[in-house]
Amino acid sequence: MPDTLVRTDSAGGRARVLSPALVCSWTDGRRDAAWVHLAGELDIATVPQLELTLGMDVLQARLVLLDLRELAFIDTSGVQAIVKASRRAREEGRRLVLLRGPPNVDRLFTLTASSGDLEIGDLDPWVFDPPQPPVQVPLRLAQEDRAL
């Protein structure tokens, strides 16, 4: 669990707990696939955390799913970082697939005209019956990708 920050409310002197702005976790599926889950806010202050995570050796899988479903906010620096990571993956013969985020997040990709540079999809929970652990989904997609 990521560290939390406790700050004193300057008006009332009360302590309040602040969650980290971005929670970035991942599940390694070895060389075939990996799942990166983002929650919170992806902005100029938290982009380095995403770049560090996506640059990790263990996340150099053929297929990386970047799960944006719990991302509450994204700014243009976040969009730019994701587009850059997607281009880098393609240059290296890999795929970075985004799992569509909430409407406010998804809309920024449209407004910045970057949707065409990205592979964006939805994860239909009924496609995988019975439900599978997160890392099994990209592994299954990677296997289907190899079969084509």
Decide: helix, strand or coil at residue 43. Answer: coil
Looking at residue 128, what is its pLDDT? Answer: 43
Degrees to nearest 5, angle at CA 35 with 120 and 59:
105
Tokens standing for residue 76? 């243009």
Q: What is the pLDDT of residue 37?
A: 93
pTM: 0.73
- Residue 110: which residues within 8 A CB-CB, separation 6 or more? none
- Distances, alpha carbon 121 to alpha carbons 4, 67, 118, in Å: 32, 10, 10
Delimit the domains of the chain by residue range: 23-147
pLDDT(148) > 70:
no
pLDDT (mean) for 107-115: 92
The answer on pLDDT for 109 being more than 90 is yes
Look at residue 130 in the predicted model and tell me its pLDDT: 42
Helix-, strand-, coil-residue percentages of the chain, each rounded to 5:
35, 30, 35
- In this structure, which topology does domain 23-147 adopt according to CATH? Transcription Regulator spoIIAA (3.30.750)
pLDDT tens column, 17-70: 555 689 988 887 667 888 999 999 999 999 999 999 998 876 778 999 999 999
